[in-house]
Amino acid sequence: MFETKAYLNSNDGSGILAFGEQSRCVLTVSDEIQKMQEYLDQNNSDFVFMCLSYDFKNRFYPLDSNNHDGLNFQDAIFWVPEYVVKIKREEITFLKGERNTESLEFLSVFFEEETDRNFHNYQIDFQPRIDFNTYIETVNKLKKHIQRGDIYEVNFCQEFFVEDCVLDFPLDAFFKMNEVTQAPFSAYVQFDEFSVFCGSPERFLKKEGDRLMTQPIKGTAPRGMNAEEDEINKEQLKNNPKERSENIMIVDLVRNDLSQVAAKASVKVDELCGIYTFETVHQMISTVSCELRENTSFIDILKATFPMGSMTGAPKKRAMELIEEYESFKRGLYSGSIGYLSPNGDFDLNVVIRTLLYNSEKKYLSCAVGSAITFESDPEKEFEECQTKIEKIFRALHA
């Protein structure tokens, strides 16, 4: 029943659930962006949900993505669902589609997976695509680029994967992972052979009326064993010059991105280097916003801002070139975005991090993770930061 579904879960009692599919637009490597524009024009009075791969960037930059690809995720997929339901606490509001036997039965089965807590155990052993020594060597090579002035910062990512993996209960696996992550921009997406289990704490872009806002994350600290240790870790993160420097570099980058679509003198930093606590980590988050120029389209906004600076580096184009050169895998949906366009033109998009990606036909499960490399980076500490970000996700599936 309803093979295509997307659940955007804020983990505060609210969320958006879309299920069923009326139409779809898929962008492969050879498709031009005009195909997407035509689809959005045809459905401009409807809800359009989307998954934007990191490689969607190649429409805006003269780049290729030729690294190892175990998932074969499309560059982008857009679809108009049959039903869209808004969830707030115990209240369910149909934004699209009728409250009928079919839709209510689906909702009952869907949320029963979350509430019964009778989760399956998954004996999954993730393997790193590069070993520890290769990781250290690569970070040192990237630091040489920084020393030469090629870049100031680059987000370097590595992949952990499982081959011959069978996940018979994907929705169960998402809710089990979500018990641990409880992140505000979580998402479960399922269509065709793909399942996405996203526990993201990061928003990419949100548009409400004429206001556009982005909230880049740069800066991570582990959760403590108790409240006192938590406060120490938060304070250390807040005052860590390296972490603040990483964040401020990306704030400058996204301010420049937004200026390309902003009304004159409207770009502002609403919050700089705020410290936020999540179930698995503490994060440093800044908020940057602007008022949009008149007649600015969704594609105009994506062209100015995608991919997000927090997952690339500065300057963005050169950082992306080095990402393609030094990373060992094709990112695909990882460090891309999941979200939706509303009929009134507003939208909300996350950053796909802290995420498991699964291809059931290839029996391939992937989890990528990265950190920002700067001149001050200690390669071993960067490796430890990556482990901090994903270890509880791995542990959740085994619990």
Residue with tokens 């980590």: 281
pLDDT at 29: 86
Residue 60 CB: number of other CB atoms within 10 A? 16
The H or E element containing residue 114 is: helix 101-115
Predicted confidence band at 90 (pLDDT cuts at 50, 70, 90)? Answer: confident
**Mean model confidence pLDDT for the chain:** 95
- pLDDT of residue 30 exceeding 90, the answer is no
d(CA 15, CA 24) in angstroms, rounded, equals 22
Which residues have C-beta within 8 Å of that of residue 248, sequence separation ≥ 6?
A: 272, 273, 286
Q: In the chain, how many domains are there?
A: 1
Neighbour tally for 301: CB within 10 Å: 20
Amino acid found at 293: R
pLDDT of residue 52: 98
- What's the average model confidence in pLDDT over 201-229? 95
Residue 244 and residue 252: Cα distance in Å, rounded? 12
Structure tokens at 16: 């958006």
The answer to whether the CB of 328 falls within 8 A of the CB of 159 is: yes
From the list 124, 143, 141, the residue with the least C-alpha distance to 133 is: 141
Rounded CA separation 151/321 (Å): 11
Q: Which two tokens stand for residue 7?
A: 């659940």
Which residues, at least 6 apart from 230, have a Cβ–Cβ distance to it below 8 Å?
A: 223, 224, 277, 282
The pLDDT tens digits of the residues spanning 51-70 come to 999 999 999 999 988 999 99
Percentage of the chain lying above the pLDDT 90 cut: 90
User: Any idea what DSSP says for residue 224?
Assistant: P
- The DSSP output letter for 334 is T
What does the alpha-carbon distance between residue 290 and residue 304 come to, in Å, rounded to a whole number? 13
**Percent of the chain with pLDDT strictly greater than 70:** 100
Q: Which residue has the tokens 């309803």?
A: 2
Q: Encoding tokens for residue 167?
A: 């996940």
Task: Give the whole-angstrom CA distance, residue 388 versus residue 65.
Answer: 28
Q: Find the domain containing 26 and state its range.
A: 5-398
Report d(CA 32, CA 39) in Å as an integer. 12
For residue 329, give both structure tokens.
């895998």
d(CA 279, CA 323): 29
What secondary structure letter does DSSP report for 57?
G
Give the integer Cα–Cα distance in Å for 24 and 80. Answer: 7
The pLDDT of 207-214, averaged and rounded, is 98
Each residue of 291-346: pLDDT tens digit?
999 999 999 999 999 999 999 999 999 999 999 999 999 999 999 999 999 999 99
Task: Outline where 207-240 has alpha helix (H).
Answer: 227-238
What end-to-end distance do the CA atoms of the chain give, in Å? 29
Instruction: Confirm if 306 and 52 have CB atoms less than 8 A apart.
Output: yes
Retrieve residue 236's tokens: 């250390």
pLDDT of residue 286 exceeding 90:
yes
Quick: pLDDT tens for 195-207: 999 999 999 999 9
Confidence at residue 399, expressed as pLDDT on a 0 to 100 scale = 63
Tell me what the mean pLDDT of segment 135-150 comes to.
Answer: 97
Q: What is the pLDDT of residues 153-177, one digit of tens each?
A: 999 999 999 999 999 899 999 999 9
pTM for this entry: 0.96
The Cα 85–Cα 70 span in angstroms is 33
**What stretches of 201-324 adopt beta strand conformation (E)?**
203-208, 211-215, 217-222, 268-277, 281-291, 313-314
**pLDDT, tens digit (0-9, with 9 covering 90-100), for 114-126:** 887 778 888 889 9
pLDDT of residue 89: 85
Helix, strand, or coil (residue 130)? coil
User: Which CATH number is 20's domain given?
Assistant: 3.60.120.10
> Where would I find the beta strands (DSSP E) of 42-152?
48-52, 76-80, 83-88, 91-96, 127-128
HSE-up (13 A, CA, CB side) for residue 33: 13
Model confidence at 218: pLDDT above 70:
yes
Which residues does the annotation mark as catalytic? 202, 218
For 374-377, the CB contacts below 8 A with 24+ separation are 374/146, 374/152, 374/153, 374/242, 374/245, 374/246, 374/249, 375/143, 375/146, 375/147, 375/152, 376/241, 376/242, 376/245, 377/139, 377/143, 377/242
